[in-house]
């Protein structure tokens, strides 16, 4: 078993397709290592091994994300690792600062934290920890109010807690969110564009729940 090497872990995770900052000099090594492995699960387990025991912000972040990707059998660990990361200093290599993305002002540090909160909430939802899942879902909504997926994921928790109609009420309420209105902006070439992603995703989820309520019941 390889020893502790979080730089290789980051490169290996990136080789799996994750948006993970890594040392370009380690990428060829990670690609070669990935070719020797049985599949994604084995590679993610190697990421964990290369960061074990996780202590630094980098190791905590990589381990939390690897556990979230592994899913079954790792959900409680994913929650614990994400919580530990969020309680400490950030991994300096992760995106920071603010930028405009398709007309939306994005705070990258908040986006990273919201992503981990979504991971926590998803694991908590599956484990039946509904109160924690709701709390973490709403925290993600507060950090990234322009990201419709936060509200969609939160609605899944609301549905488990209070039923489909309450989830629909919650989603319809987000039509009052300032980001529901399409945003006009200019792209890098100066061409006018319209970003309606928040509205499109939210309305699609509302339609999905509405249609589920009218679906015929078996038997």
Q: CB count, 10 Å around CB of 117? A: 25
**What pLDDT does residue 73 have?**
95
Please give the model's pTM, rounded to 2 decimal places: 0.92
Per DSSP, helices labelled H in the chain are 6-15, 27-35, 40-50, 57-70, 75-87, 108-127, 130-143, 148-162, 164-173, 197-214
Which residue spans of the chain are classified as CATH 1.25.40.10? 98-214
| Enclosing H/E stretch for 192 | strand 192-195
- CA-to-CA dists, residue 58 to 73, 82, 168, 203, angstroms: 22, 12, 38, 37
**What pLDDT does residue 219 have?**
41
CA–CA dist 55, 38 (Å, integer): 28
CA–CA dist 94, 109 (Å, integer): 8
How would you write the pLDDT of the chain (219 residues) with one tens digit per residue?
Answer: 458 999 999 999 999 999 999 999 999 999 999 999 989 999 999 999 999 999 999 999 999 999 999 999 999 999 999 999 999 999 999 999 999 999 999 999 999 999 999 999 999 999 999 999 999 999 999 999 999 999 999 999 999 999 999 999 999 999 999 999 999 999 999 999 999 999 999 999 999 999 987 766 554
The class that CATH gives domain 98-214 is mainly alpha
SS (H, E, C) 93-147: CCCCCEEEECCEEEEHHHHHHHHHHHHHHHHHHHHCCHHHHHHHHHHHHHHCCCC
CA–CA dist 208, 60 (Å, integer): 36
Are 157 and 112 in contact by the 8 Å Cβ rule? The answer is no
């Amino acid at each position: 078993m390889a020893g502790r090497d979080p730089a290789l872990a980051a490169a290996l995770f990136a080789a799996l397709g994750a948006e993970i900052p890594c040392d370009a000099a380690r990428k060829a090594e990670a690609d070669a290592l990935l070719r020797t492995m049985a599949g994604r699960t084995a590679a993610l387990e190697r990421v964990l091994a290369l960061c074990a025991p996780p202590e630094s912000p980098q190791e905590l972040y990589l381990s939390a994300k690897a556990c979230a990707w592994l899913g079954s059998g790792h959900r409680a660990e994913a929650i614990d690792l994400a919580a530990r990361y969020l309680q400490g200093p950030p991994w300096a290599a992760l995106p920071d600062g603010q930028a405009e993305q398709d007309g939306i002002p994005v705070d990258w540090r908040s986006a990273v934290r919201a992503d981990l909160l979504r991971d926590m909430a998803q694991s908590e939802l599956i484990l039946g920890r509904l109160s924690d899942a709701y709390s973490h879902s709403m925290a993600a909504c507060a950090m990234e109010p322009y990201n419709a997926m936060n509200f969609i994921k939160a609605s899944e928790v609301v549905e488990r807690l209070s039923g489909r109609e309450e989830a629909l009420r919650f989603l319809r309420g987000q039509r009052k969110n300032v980001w529901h209105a399409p945003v006009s902006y200019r792209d890098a070439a100066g061409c006018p564009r319209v970003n309606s992603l928040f509205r499109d995703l939210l309305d699609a989820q509302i339609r999905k729940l509405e249609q589920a309520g009218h679906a015929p019941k078996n038997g």
